[in-house]
Amino acid sequence: MRSASSISLPWLDKIREDVALLAMRLDQDVDASFFAPLEALYAEGDALTRRYCGKPLAKCRVLEIGYGTRPMRMLWLWHQGVDVHGVDLDYPLLRFSPARLFRMARTNGLERALKSAVRYLALDRRQYRAMRDALVERKILTPDVSFWGNFADRLAVRNAADPAYWAEAGRFDFIYSVDVFEHIPKPQVDAMVKAMAGALNPNGVALIRPDLFTGISGSHLPEWYKERLGEKFVRKAQPWDHLRANRYPANSYLNQMRLAEYEEIFDRYLSIAEKAPIDYGLGREYLTPEVRAELKDYSEDELLTNNIDYVLTAKS
């Protein structure tokens, strides 16, 4: 079962991109700023379920679509007492062992297993350890309680576009997905949203946050990630190179969907109750008159929106 985020590129190009991304992550301290996005997701989910479901997140049945090989968001919610479940094509590497790596290689391929092994040893185990310490410090977890418990039982390695998965998964009050939909082929996005609509409880709500292809970071090149936009260094790719010459294709599959395409699919099966761009305007300083003229087929909203929150509810 090939990872939905994989793509065929020369090995040297893959290694360069993977090393650049890992180096960027290693530069980040595992401090309060690391946990801020996890806390923000909990707070946003709690606000949405109170508003639409009439109950707090901790009383809801929750699903994450696309937890990845390191399900940090799910793990954080689970330790807060949330009944959270997840589905992803990729087998997760929660703890390092040859048996787990072998299973990952069989499930998603040798490349995915090697990348995950390197990242686990260099980064993931440090972040898991920091999460455990933070939970103990906040008295959410006691030192004598297992950090992992039965958490692995909540992780389904399945295709979220497969109706058979949803038939077995049951219904949910809250479904969320962060930076995942852009890696899924458009026909499967359609199938997945249709299945989501059938799996939401009557007052349920979904939060879908795609990383938009048309934004300056939509190329998924680490040098254009928002964490590095303010840095001054010589970049190999021009701003919005992926919409222009596309000299440096991404090291992952991207469906290249635009805002209108997402909204057409969402509106086909669900109601768009709210939508809010995140960090709108990223890259504005690089949108010179010359670049804007070259990208005249794209609206300014498309070029300056990198992430957007879609809040979806059942059709009335």
Residue 77 covered by a domain: yes
Q: pLDDT under 70 in the chain at which residues?
A: 1-32
Look at residue 279 in the predicted model and tell me its pLDDT: 92
**Domain region containing 62:** 37-92+142-313
Which CATH number do you get for residue 305? 3.40.50.150
Look at residue 227 in the predicted model and tell me its pLDDT: 85
Look at residue 284 in the predicted model and tell me its pLDDT: 97
Neighbours of 236 (CB within 10 A): 11
Residue 4 covered by a domain: no
Q: Which residues contact 303 (CB under 8 A, 6 or more apart)?
A: 214, 215, 216, 240, 283, 287, 292, 295
What is d(CA 101, CA 89) in angstroms, rounded to the nearest whole number?
15
Look at residue 230 in the predicted model and tell me its pLDDT: 87
Phi, psi for residue 29 in degrees, rounded to 5: -75, 145
Neighbours of 48 (CB within 10 A): 24
Residue 166 covered by a domain: yes
Residue 305 covered by a domain: yes
Could you give the number of structural domains in the chain?
A: 1
